[in-house]
Structure 1
Amino acid sequence: MSEIVPVVRLESFGRGNCDRSYAFADYRRTIEAYSLEEVSEALVAVTDATKGGLHAAGFVAYEAAPAFDSALTVPNAQPGLPLVWFALFEKREEIIRRPPETAIRTDARWTPGITRDHYTHDIRKIKSYIRTGDTYQVNHTFRLTCNYEGPGQPLYDWMVRSQKADFCAYIFTGCHEILSASPELFFEWRGRDLVTRPMKGTRSRGRWLDEDRELRRELHVSEKDRAENLMIVDLLRNDLGRVSLPGSVEVMDLWNIEPYETVYQMTSTIRSRLREDVDLNEIFCALFPCGSVTGAPKIRTMEIISELEAEPRGVYTGAIGYVSPGEEAVFSVAIRTACIDLHHRRAVFGVGGGVTWDSTSEGEYQECLAKARVLTDERPVFDLFETIRHDAAKGYFLWDHHLRRLRLSAEYFGLPFNENRLRVAADAAVSGRTCRLRLSIDSSGEVLAETGPLTVLEGYTAQVCALPVDSSDVFLFHKTSHRQVYDDRKALCPDVDDVILQNERGELTETSIGNLVLEIGGTLLTPPRESGLLGGTFRQALLEAEQIEERTLKAADLHRATRVYMINSVREWVPITVVFEPEAAGANKEAIVTTGS
């Protein structure tokens, strides 16, 4: 029987905290520890191997903690999973990695290992411990599980496309696959310099730029999140002091806000100079597990965690990383991390957050859901584009509105934006003609300008699509080439020219190619952007001119409307006939709908 060769890739898709990706080659052997007595011996063996020129890459599970400090309490270890696992390789090769251009959504159905009521009970219990002075903050977590068939690579690809984190990792041990999209540095050790960057404080990203900026500002000024972050900073300063030269521990960047695909995170950076006699095992003795995934004070708080969390954490909230010759090591805190048991075909993914006196059960639960979005949020490859009408005599219609929307979306998604290049490309494409211009930019900032004829829509029909859109879907709020949500719903209504969309609350939003306006009682009404729609440029111009008003609308309002419009900047106002379902009996009403936004 051939020997199983482990695979380890440590990859960075983030924003600069770690800009190197590594693959490891020429496998030699594996160092493992399954009991607490073997843990320190394993790390000493890793150190000896790296002194001999080998590179070690692997993980330390959360339940290894008592091996570094017997005062720390953890649940029973996860059956079959090593407490320490490192593969030794001859080569560490720097690789160029980009997020996969495509990723296949898995059929995995993730189920929380805790009920909502149980979670609420745990939060109340934690706050009672805070009240009695046992703890200041508890990092409470629970597990999502699913039956998982097939290789873990598709799930890993999905996670890293969704998160684009600094410390991603794929590990195949032979018995397990570890898939991590962690944004959090545990520690970086180079020579005598040690850096740690705890992450504490989370907000979901907004759906459009203004909402996104407000959520970022809200996190940055949040007294609760600042206090929570500062508690962990103080804990880690104390931990670092155990292995550092006196006076060398300093906080470099307090309360920094880092953007990720689905969330904002608050981080702080702490640096120190190690004593000459400190090795890898002593660093783990001083720091592990990271205070950001335990709480403070660490010893009593880990006792509370063991009381409340019935299942082991395993690799989740442990550490993943590498050790190389020359006193070099980088480890992440293993959050946003899944572990697949290849024998039982079971996957586990942990989520959690820091609970303080100011925490609410609902707020903490929503934070957990935000972190779990890495499993489900789709981040397709797409271009941003604008469709602009150009008249040979009058020029571009609403050019400034189009460029502003394109600029705001580019800033939201982090795409390069150059207005001069866009204008040059547009002018060259239209060549002074009356036409429809499609102006797009891709993820690298490349500009493409294409033109087509202007067409007239007559006898236009539309009906309400029964399949709702999700008002939290980011792509509803930006004009992108990712149009599956529109195409899928249009396909469900093949007998009409267009569909009128509604969200999960039954609120009308837009059509597949333009904004929606209803005339009711002599007033022109359009759904608010919060319902889940693209803010069209013509719609915006009409709002600024106070010709239309925003109001939440339902399907029943279509029966009350004397006219219905679909509006956009290419065709402005286009009358349509709204086709009602048979049960919604009554004569069809003439409506005015304007396309394209």
Structure 2
Amino acid sequence: MTKEQISIFKEKALKYASNFEVCCYLDSHQYQDKYGKHDCLIAFGKEKELIAPVGNAFSLLKTFVKQNKDWMFGLLTYDLKNEVEDIQLLREDRLGFPDLFFFVPKYLISIKDDEFKIVKGEVDIEKIWNTPITDEVRRYKLNIQNNFTKEAYLDHIEKIKQHIKRGDVYEMNFCQEFFAENVEIDPLITYKQLTEVSPTPFSGFFKIGNKYILSATPERFLSKRGEILTSQPIKGTAKRSKDLTEDLAIKNALKNSKKEQSENVMIVDLVRNDLTKSAVKGSVKVDELFGIYTFPQVHQMISSISCELSPNIHFIDAIKNTFPMGSMTGAPKLRAMQLIDQYERSKRGAYSGSFGYINPDGDFDFNVIIRSILYNEENQYLSFQVGGAITYQSDAEKEYEECLLKASAIMSVLKN
């Protein structure tokens, strides 16, 4: 099929799949990725599911995987950190995503190289092609609020820098929530608008009952191909410019920024340490350091770290050993997470967690839930969070501006 036909098919298939109680749609938007096996996966309907609270969620997931040698798609929320480390802070949860959710789909479609394949189930392709789609653009008048005033945010940055000065942490990821109440959105149209503004390689649409994740994330958390684990943390962000000469200058400045390199290498070291827990001795390596990748809204600094999975380690334990991802915590990880609980004002929940797939061979690919809209249709609560890495060199004003830059794609959709 042509690229245009594939694009139409994907949109129709997603709309068809979204009529089921559960569906997970993963789309790379044609980004070339040597670690990825699929351009797009569309899973819908459920044969089996696992809903597990913090406590023994990873153990239950391991059992679920052993009992079901099948495709499965799922969500790992940030709050599973409380199971990895002995830390827990109770905050109001207005989104209500399960701490861990996985399902074995009834139907699965894979798209690769402009061809689609029915991987599982008797999918009625004619029904999909006959599914009507709309070019409608929704213009929302949302009262988007922030749980930090600018002054409070700047004050918190200075407090965090004092912890860094004392040696409590070297780097900490600090986030703020934007939210809207009594909101009615069309999740499909909103996701379409978001990905038109910001097409990214790990984007996805995840529906769990009346809860939705609309994601334009550019970041991979962890993948497994054969016995090779790969993590690709992002640390380092710069705005784009419509002027090509200026845009190239901004990109080169990011590439050569000692501050951004310092932030990035701290997380690279953390990820190397996390992977060591699951690796064949001596196999952890940095495949790419300080790679610069360009997206519609921003340039990003991305590093790639890999290892060979030890035959003594189950791959679910490898996920647990690296969770939550270092790019969304800081270093050292435990103290950074304790300070996150102390200084952030919202429950992260699905934000800075991960969703993705596991195939019957035990290979998997999971993203990092950033640049994403979270929506509870039942109580009409919408939320998105943004954050950045705080080091002692951080300029509070610039960190605040970076947060607004990261939120710009979502803001442009919701305030269209």
- On whether the aligned pair clears a TM of 0.5, the verdict is yes
* Secondary structure at 1:85 match in 2: strand
What corresponds to 1:60 in structure 2? 76
How much does 1:78 deviate? 2.7
Match status 1:274 vs 2:309? yes
What corresponds to 1:21 in structure 2? 40
What corresponds to 2:156 in structure 1? 122
How much does 1:106 deviate? 3.7
Residue correspondence of structure 1 range 17-416 to structure 2 within 5 A? 17=33, 18=36, 20-33=39-52, 35-51=53-69, 54-67=70-83, 69-73=84-88, 75-76=90-91, 78=93, 80-95=96-111, 104-107=137-140, 108-147=142-181, 148-377=183-412
If asked which structure has higher relative contact order (CA below 8 Å, sep 6+), I would say 2
Total equivalences in the alignment: 371
d(CA) in 1 for partners of 2:222, 2:172: 21
d(CA) in 2 for partners of 1:284, 1:174: 25
Contact 1:232 1:292 in 2 (8 A): yes
d(CA) in 2 for partners of 1:106, 1:307: 37
More helix by share: 2
Q: Which amino acid counterpart does residue 29 of structure 1 have in structure 2?
A: K
* Secondary structure at 1:370 match in 2: helix
d(CA) in 1 for partners of 2:202, 2:316: 21
What corresponds to 1:418 in structure 2? none
How much does 1:287 deviate? 0.4
d(CA) in 2 for partners of 1:74, 1:102: 43
* Secondary structure at 2:224 match in 1: strand
How much does 1:180 deviate? 0.8
d(CA) in 2 for partners of 1:294, 1:345: 29
d(CA) in 2 for partners of 1:72, 1:210: 48
Q: Which amino acid counterpart does residue 312 of structure 1 have in structure 2?
A: K
d(CA) in 2 for partners of 1:376, 1:303: 30
Cα 1:140–1:146 change in 2 (3 A) is same
How much does 1:282 deviate? 0.6
* Secondary structure at 2:46 match in 1: strand
How much does 1:101 deviate? 10
Larger Rg: 1
Q: Deviations over 1:327-380 (max 9, x none)?
A: 1110001111111011111111010000111111111111111111111447xx
d(CA) in 2 for partners of 1:81, 1:292: 22
What is the percentage of aligned positions where both structures have the same residue?
A: 29
Q: Normalised by the size of structure 2, how large is the TM-score?
A: 0.85
How much does 1:50 deviate? 4.0
Contact 1:163 1:260 in 2 (8 A): yes
Q: Normalised by the size of structure 1, how large is the TM-score?
A: 0.60
Instruction: Flag structure 2 segments of 5+ consecutive residues without an equivalent.
Output: 1-18, 115-132
Contact 1:58 1:322 in 2 (8 A): yes
d(CA) in 2 for partners of 1:106, 1:88: 35
Cα 1:287–1:190 change in 2 (3 A) is same
